[in-house]
Copies of this chain bind each other. A is one copy, B any other.
């Protein structure tokens, strides 16, 4: 059995674990991401975390094939570079992620791979989670933002500029109030993320004239659970917008299965019910049997998917071995 270290490098914490060739996490550890101190400091801390796990694996006689990283930001997976990033990690943009880790760990660059964390998350679920065994899956995560990834024959489709998967940034009829599009964090407006993210649900409650002071989406869900009509409407709009968006994406991409994840998907039936109803209302008749599944791996998904980047060669068929769905050119 081969093993790899999978790293989930987020804005507030960095988790890493030893992942086996069948997708199990044997052990893991978490450190705060030193998100105010620049890229080099983040790499130092990440390398130290990886070293401690590698040492433990070696002590147990386990073979570590390499290190996979799922990182916040837009990641050039070919060069292992952080192309851009929000201020969640100051100075992260421009960081040579894979070569920086390779130098610190004394490993060849070829044994370290990196992708954006949402792609890692989706790859984890596709490999060893809710979509395990599928030929293609679409994962969409609804939380602080809205992100997703289409995994085809084991490959997350990263996009030409590595910005593929921005599934929160297309138009949603729910993101209009009286014909005026609601502003989106991307600078545009009327987008899915502007109505279906957690912060957007809180903002909708305020915009609809909600009487109570609410700190976050969680507070809106509590009010909705207590029968507050404005909170119910904010939750309804957010969840229906989410489902309508995922259903439309399924019509376009025709994945074998859909996985819905993120903090909102954990909010229970109040969100999942109207989300799935709107999703199924949107589907073409041919897709009526589409499996719509909650994620299974919880907060280890990105770690597992990241490890997969370096564990795959022996077991992963090339995309072109899938003639059933892709013309064999």
Contact = CB atoms under 8 A, between A and B. Distances in A.
B256 A160 contact: yes
Nearest to A179: B173
A318 B320 CA distance: 6
A187 B282 CA distance: 10
Number of copies: 2
Contacts of A167: 251-252
Interface in A225-275: 244-245, 247-249, 251-256
A137 B85 CA distance: 26
B173 A173 contact: yes
A95 interface: no
Interface of A: 74, 77-78, 84, 113, 115, 123, 135-136, 148, 152, 154-167, 169-173, 175-176, 181, 186-188, 190-191, 244-245, 247-249, 251-256, 281-287, 308-309, 312-313, 316, 318-320, 323-327, 329
B316 A255 contact: no
B325 A251 contact: no
A173 B171 contact: yes
Contact of A169 (B176, B251, B316, B319): B251
A57 to B, nearest CB: 22
Nearest to A154: B329
Contacts of A181: 173
Given A159-B254, A323-B78, A316 B329 contact: yes
B282 A170 contact: yes
Given A159-B254, A188-B282, A319-B318, A249 B170 contact: yes
B326 A308 contact: no
